[in-house]
Amino acid sequence: MPFRVVAARLNPVYVPPSMSASLVLLLAVAAAYLAAHVVFEWLAKRFLLVSAAEYLLLGILLGPQVSKILSASLVQSLAPVVTLALGWIGMMAGTRFDLRKLVGVPARRFRIAFGESSLTFVTVAGLEFLVLGRLFSRGSTNAAIVLGALAVASSGVGVGLVSRLLHRRGEVVEQLELSSAINALFAITVLGLVMSVRHVPVPASRPLTATEWMVVTMAIGVVGGTLFHVFLGETQDPDRLFVALVGGIVLVSGAATYLRLSSLTSAMLFGVILVNTSSNPETLIATLERVERPFYFVLLLFGGAAWQPTGYPWAIPVLLYLAARAAGKIGGSRLAARANHEYDELGPDWGRALLGQGRVGLALGLSYLHSEAGSGRTFVFTAAIASILLTEFLSARVARSVVTARTSASDEPAPSSGHEEPDARPTDAVPGEPAQQPGI
C-alpha cells in the first residue's frame, strides 16, 4: 500500500510535504502582496512608519526556534525563493547606477558618499576585529569584515518616503539618495570579495585564485546582462519584460550560488548592465519596483524563520555592532562633509538619516549565513536582524527630522512622472535626479 495512503489513514490531517511547502509559499506571497499594497501604504501615510521589522519578527515567531510552524526542513526547501529574492534586491541596487544620469552629479557628492562608507566600514570592522579576536582568538577576520560591510548598508526608503509626502527636495535629499546607493555598492562589493577570498574549492582542473573567483563573480553578472539585452531587445511590454527578468535573475543568481559565490554581487552587476543598455530604463525600473517590495517581505518572513541562536557569546559583538554603526554613520558623515566643504549645507546630523539598515543589509546577512566563507555566520545574521528591528521602524521619522531641518516647503518639489498625484511609495531614486513615480 502506498506510503501516502497509509499516512492518510493514520493521520486524517496528513499533508504531503510538497503540498505543505507550496501552500506556505502561496500564503507568504499573498501576505507579502497584501502588505506591500495595503498595509505599507496605510502605515506610511498615517504614521510615517516604514513597515518591515514586524514581518521579520513574525518570521522568527513562526520559525523552528519558537512555534515551529515553519519547520527547518520547510524553510530549507524554499531556499530557491530566497535566492530569487536576494537576486532581485541585488539587481535593484544595480539599477541605481544609470551612468547617463550620474555623469551630472557633482564629484564632491561621490567623495562624501565614499568617505562616509569607508569611515563606517573601518570603524565597525576595526572594533569588531579587536573584540572578536579576544572572544574567539581565531577565525574572526571574515566576520569582522562582513560586519563592517553590513554596517555600511543603509536604507533609502525613509528618505524617499519623506521627500514624497512633504514634497521637499534639496541638496541634503540628493546627497542621502546618492549615499544610500554608494553604501549598497560598497557593502555588496566587500561581501563579493570576502566570498571570493574564502571560497570553498569546487571540482576544477586547477584551483582558482581569489582574484579569478572575483572575476568569475563579475563575469556572471556582466555576461548575463549582455545576453539579456541581446535576446530580449528593446521590448516595452511589461509582462514579457517581467518574465524575462525573472528568468535572467534566476540564471545569474543560480549560477553564482552553485559556484558558491556572491549572488548579490553578480545580480548587482546584472542590474547595472540592464539599466545602462536599455533605451527606456524607466519601464525597466517600474517593472522591477512592481514586485520588489513583495519580494522584500517574503525575504523578511523567511529570513526571520532562518534565524537560529548561537552558542557563542553573541551579545557583546552584536551590541558593539549597533553602537559602532551609529557612531560610524554619524561621525563618518560629519567628517566626510567637512572634508569636502559641505558641512554647512548638509548640517551636522545628516548621517542620522542613513541609520536605517534596509533590505540590502538583510540580504547581506542572509547571503553570508548561507555561505561557507568563514565562521561567525550566525551572530553576523543576528546583528543584521537586531539592526533592522531597532532602526527600520523609525527610519522615516528620523529622515523627516533631517530633511525638514535642511529644506523648506519652498524648495523644488519632487515631481511626478505621470498625471497621478505623488503617493507614499518610496523608491530608490537615482541620486541627483527628480524622484520617479514608483511602479507599485
To the nearest whole number, what is the mean pLDDT of the chain? 79
Q: Examine residue 355 and state whether it is found in any structural domain, yes or no.
A: yes
Cell numbers for 99, please give them.
551612468
User: What pLDDT band is residue 73 in, cutting at 50, 70 and 90?
Assistant: confident
Q: Examine residue 439 and state whether it is found in any structural domain, yes or no.
A: no
- Amino acid present at 397: R
What's the number of domains the chain is made of?
1
Phi, psi at 393, each rounded to 5°: -65, -35
Looking up residue 56, the CATH number of its domain turns out to be 1.20.1530
DSSP state of 47: H
pLDDT tens per residue across span 316-358: 889 999 999 999 999 999 999 999 999 988 888 899 989 988 8
Can you tell me the mean pLDDT for 130-134? 86
Q: C-alpha distances in angstroms, 386 versus 57, 303, 314, 392?
A: 10, 12, 12, 10
Q: Which residue has the higher pLDDT, 298 or 137?
A: 298
pLDDT tens per residue across span 92-122: 999 999 999 999 899 999 999 999 999 999 9
Which range, of 76-80, 95-99, 111-115, 269-273, averages the lowest pLDDT? 76-80
Burial label, 348 (beta-carbon count in 10 A; 0-12, 13-18, 19+): middle
Domain enclosing residue 391, as ranges: 28-406
Q: How far apart are CA 238 and CA 285, in angstroms?
A: 10
pLDDT at 49: 59
Cell numbers for 162, please give them.
519623506
One DSSP character per residue, 48-91 reads -----HHHHHHHHHHSTTTT-SS-HHHHHHTHHHHHHHHHHHHH
Can you tell me the mean pLDDT for 302-326? 84
Q: Examine residue 9 and state whether it is found in any structural domain, yes or no.
A: no
Cell numbers for 361, please give them.
543589509
Q: Examine residue 40 and state whether it is found in any structural domain, yes or no.
A: yes
Q: How far apart are CA 272 and CA 280, in angstroms?
A: 14
Q: How many residues in total does the chain contain? A: 440
E-strand stretches of 178-274: none
Can you tell me the mean pLDDT for 36-62? 64
- Amino acid present at 347: G
Q: Examine residue 440 and state whether it is found in any structural domain, yes or no.
A: no
In the chain, the N- to C-terminal Cα span, in Å, equals 50
pLDDT tens per residue across span 161-209: 777 766 767 888 899 999 999 999 999 999 999 999 988 776 655 788 8
Q: Examine residue 425 and state whether it is found in any structural domain, yes or no.
A: no
Q: Examine residue 16 and state whether it is found in any structural domain, yes or no.
A: no
Residue ranges of alpha helices (H) inside 307-357 are: 315-339, 343-346
Secondary structure element (H or E) that encloses residue 199, with its range = none
DSSP state of 345: H
Cell numbers for 49, please give them.
512608519
Asked whether the predicted pLDDT for residue 160 surpasses 60, the reply is: yes
Instruction: Give the residue among 94, 42, 47 at the shortest CA–CA distance from 425.
Output: 42
Q: How far apart are CA 163 and CA 157, in angstroms?
A: 10
CB 28 within 8 A of CB 298: yes
Q: Examine residue 248 and state whether it is found in any structural domain, yes or no.
A: yes
Residue ranges of alpha helices (H) inside 95-170 are: 99-102, 107-136, 141-152, 157-166
pLDDT tens per residue across span 411-437: 444 444 343 433 434 444 444 444 443
